[in-house]
Structure 1
Amino acid sequence: MPNTSSHHFYHLLARWLPLKDAANWVLGAVIDTRGSVYRKTGALMLLSDAGDQLGLLSGGCLESDLLLQARKVIALGKSRRLIYDATDEDNIAWRLGIGCGGAAEIVLHPCTAQNQYLHLPQVFSHLQQQQACEYHLAIDDARADFMPCLRAFSQRQHGRVHSSGTGQQLSTLINPVPHLLVLGSGIDLIPVCQLANTLGWRVTLADARLNEGKRAHFPADIETQTVAVTGLDAAFLQQVDAVVIAHHNMELDAVAIAYLESRELCNPYIGLLGPAQRKAQVLAMKGLTEAQLRYPVSGPMGLALGGDLPESIALSVLAECHARLFGSSALPLGAVAQNEFTALANRVVNS
């Protein structure tokens, strides 16, 4: 069942596919930005003449006008390019009262059976297999193609517009949703699964001790496997991007770390329950040291956010996991902005 609260493109496609022939659809894409804007080049959404709006190309302030423009695209059967400029008093973005102060150029293309739905069903099929796609959308007419590729959850990885043999095109990486493997089935893991599910991530809960009574407390739409980590096959583990190890049993945790370290994985985030001393003991049980680990293990896992309830710990753990996956420093945004300003000032002084 698709996550109806997530704006990840995977979940948008999951909601769109059953509806694709029930209405006329338009694919919208941000192809250029200037200044402060909510969505960057490469952002995608789907709109229909039935009033459906799947996704966002702004913070929510442009979508009503985009729906109007999409209906014009459908009525005329022609693509449209739009510029929303909050700095121009004559532009509709000014009249809409957009608060970001920047500008965005957007293209709207018909998405129909005649143009193979811009290959979106095939893209979705690859995303289901935890495989990313490099998506290529023509700017001047409603054409698209794609190439399967390795997933890469790097921070702020935006699309780019460039010239090809048939004109300008937007190239953007469409990643699958991150896949979190939770090893253990204690009550403290319930909010971890709930929060990851809210983020739109794929969540798998695996524990040989899992039973129907325990399963009933976890979100209904996550995957579950009543197996030990050693029962998870290689193909499945290749699809995992993050692992939380929390069996509340040192031997089971040690087995899990040793097994994961022996597999060929896609450099996942691995977090271990408990303090640093416990981590050292768990590693020692399998004759491992930090220096021998192929994949680093965070222990204690999480960021120092404060709070000691399961919900606070879940937020802490997934915040660290999110930062690791997306290549972020996990610093406050104000500090990041100050660092960028200082680096820019230094370059100007030294130039």
Structure 2
Amino acid sequence: MSNHVNHLLAQWLPLKDKHNWVLGFIFKTEGSCYRKAGAMMLFSDAGHQLGILSGGCLESDIVKKAQRVMTDGVSRTAVYDDEDEEDIAFKLGVGCGGVVHLALVPVNKDNNYLSLDKISQTLSKGHVCEWNVAVDGSEGACKVLEDNTGSPRKAVLDTLGGKRSLSVLMMPPIHILVVGGGYDATFMTKLASSQGYLVSLWDPRPAQARVEHFPEVNYLIDDPTTEGVRLHLNEHNIQAAVLMSHHREIDAKALQLLSMQSLTYTAMLGPLHRKQEIMDLAGLSDTNFTQYFASPAGFDIGGELPEHIALSVIAQCHAVFHTKPTHLKR
């Protein structure tokens, strides 16, 4: 199960009027902390706990405080200081050494659900938005941004007229296309899905990409033509792709198509000599890719099993989207 905000809100949305809900969100941290400002968790009077605010060490105390907010409807803040011997964080043996500032606020019609419903709808459409929420829980706003290619950034805490508010950039889940529906692709799609990615799968061969082998895939493209794939790419705002069909012509045709797309991350499995063969067959060169293109795909983590390869590729993809170093290529 993914802890991506899109996944959490998708669970909460159909239940938002059926229970009393409290939103817990970190608005400030000092030093080393498991989660940073902008992290959120939702609690209900029916026992729902959606998301995490720590490594699991603070949640028991946070739940108690959230229940008080449900009872009286009064927003609260809490501070967990891992270096203060009198603080609950120290007594729980958290060990991170930092300070977490947390807000616990009601979520209901009276404060327009703090715009969490709008955030859910926006992210589900593949759009980026900026969430501004008052630390006291009095209001929240969702501003849809036109640029869907932005990079994640730290949340910003501001004070205006004595009122504190947090600005959080909300990014939709990465949507990745996997080309190739063989056995090894099951590991790639499972790992991508567990990270909160949306996953599309395409393989024009009838014997491959069978739906019963890929239950976690969001979209199974049944059109065997690259034109069908192109239409799917444009409709679903796909940002990443991995070629792993182990078939030269399929990879070459897919690579031709992907070279004309503005994907943030493109990767192709296979050694360097195979890369050159596929590039020649497709009539392409590295200059045809304006953004990150990895072949061989993934980081060199010393693994050779399908699950190792999937780990190395998804890790590299994640690094690219979060503008982290990617020099550990094979």
TM-score (norm 1): 0.86
Shift of 1:85: 0.8
Tell me if 1:289 matches 2:285: yes
Alignment of 1:157-306 (within 5 A): 157-164=153-160, 167-210=163-206, 214-227=210-223, 228-234=225-231, 236-237=233-234, 239-263=237-261, 265=262, 267-306=263-302
CA separation in 1, counterparts of 2:303 and 2:204?
30
Alignment of 1:19-168 (within 5 A): 19-149=15-145, 150-151=147-148, 154=151, 157-164=153-160, 167-168=163-164
Q: Determine what percentage of the aligned residue pairs are the same residue.
A: 39
Deviating above 6 A after TM superposition, structure 1's stretches of 4 or more consecutive aligned residues are: none
CA separation in 2, counterparts of 1:109 and 1:187?
46
Shift of 1:143: 0.7
Tell me the amino acid that sits aligned with residue 270 of structure 1: T
Specify the alignment match of 1:340 in structure 2.
none
TM-score (norm 2): 0.91
CA separation in 2, counterparts of 1:181 and 1:18?
28
**Cα RMSD (Å) of the superposition?**
2.2
Runs of 5+ consecutive residues of structure 2 not aligned to the other structure: none
Tell me the amino acid that sits aligned with residue 26 of structure 1: V
Runs of 5+ consecutive residues of structure 1 not aligned to the other structure: 333-351
Shift of 1:301: 0.6
For these two proteins, the number of residue pairs brought into alignment is 325
Shift of 1:21: 2.1
Shift of 1:204: 0.6
Shift of 1:23: 1.6
Q: Which moved more, 1:146-155 or 1:176-185?
A: 146-155
> Does the CA-based 8 Å contact 1:203-1:223 persist in structure 2?
yes
- Aligned-partner SS, 1:161: strand
> Does the CA-based 8 Å contact 1:135-1:173 persist in structure 2?
yes
Shift of 1:160: 1.1
- Aligned-partner SS, 2:213: coil
Shift of 1:145: 0.1
> Does the CA-based 8 Å contact 1:51-1:67 persist in structure 2?
no
Shift of 1:142: 2.3
CA separation in 1, counterparts of 2:19 and 2:87?
30
